[in-house]
Amino acid sequence: MSDGDVSPVLKDTDDMSDKACDQEMDKVNSSVSQKDEIVNESNVFHDDRLAEKESVGEQSTDELADTSSGTRDPVENELSQVQMEVFDVFVRLPDVYPNVVLREIDPPHRELRFSVGSGEGVALSFALRRIKTPRPMTHDLIASILKAFEITVEMVRITLNDDGNYRAEIVCSGPNGHHFIDARPSDALAISLRSDLVVPILVAISLFK
């Protein structure tokens, strides 16, 4: 067999080898492509599940926040407090201590009464009747300091009756934010009545029971 006769056989063999390689490469590429699609689908599924979990987590957190904010302080719940005003300050003989009368603004116009010290009674009476004094009284001074430092009395809340002693707090706001300041009801009311703005007086409804 001459060299001219062998060459076509070798060429055919090379062609078959090339075709086999091409087929194997096509199989490999197809397998890699399928794996990539599976990985991509898995990643999409994972991202969707993660987004779903985050959404559920945020919703649960918001619901818990709403629940906690509703139970943090029962006095803040509109259904557990009533708005009142200082209706009168008087002395009923033979008592020696002044009595403060708070009256509910809306019907049924319930009243809350408690006694205060003589000095506090005078301060409340002067503020209620808009009586000016030659020199600032203690509560006048406090009101002037609050105004000078741009602190506003937002409201007065009477929250508790502790063995006959009422507890109150002054809610105020200023450059440093909101603050809740513990106070005697007489002091809180005397300061609020000296404010340039009308200060709401909120009383826990539980105090009427």
What per-residue confidence (pLDDT) applies to 164?
A: 77
Say whether both 20 and 108 belong to one domain. no
Q: Quote the domain boundaries for residue 183.
A: 74-208
Read off the tokens for 156.
């007065």
Lowest average pLDDT, out of 69-78, 88-97, 149-158, 162-171, goes to 69-78
Q: Which pLDDT score, from 0 to 100, does residue 4 have?
A: 41
Say whether both 19 and 63 belong to one domain: yes
Looking at the fold, whether 102 and 170 belong to one and the same domain comes out as yes
Residue 29 sits in the same domain as residue 124: no
pLDDT confidence tier of residue 162, bands split at 50, 70 and 90: confident
Q: Is the same domain home to 190 and 162?
A: yes
pLDDT at 60 over 90: no
Give me the amino acid identity at 60: S
- Whether 28 and 4 map to the same domain: the answer is yes
Of the three residues 12, 39, 72, the one that is the final residue of a domain is 72
Considering 29, 50, 72, which residue would you say is the last residue of a domain? 72
CATH code, 153? 3.10.690.10
pLDDT digits (tens, 9 = 90+) for 5-55: 433 333 444 444 455 445 555 554 554 455 454 444 444 444 444 444 344
Task: Give the whole-number percent of the chain exceeding pLDDT 90.
Answer: 54
How many domains, in total, are found in the chain? Answer: 2
Beginning with the edge strand found earlier in the chain, give each strand of the sheet holding 81-90 in spatial order.
Answer: 111-115, 99-104, 81-90, 201-204, 152-162, 165-174, 177-183
In terms of domains, do 92 and 195 share one? yes
Q: Which residues contact 154 (CB under 8 A, 6 or more apart)?
A: 171, 172, 173, 178, 199, 200
User: Which residue among 33, 49, 72 closes a domain?
Assistant: 72
Task: Tokens for 136, please give them.
Answer: 């600032």
Confidence of residue 186 (pLDDT cuts 50, 70, 90): very high
Q: How far apart are the first and last CA of the chain?
A: 123
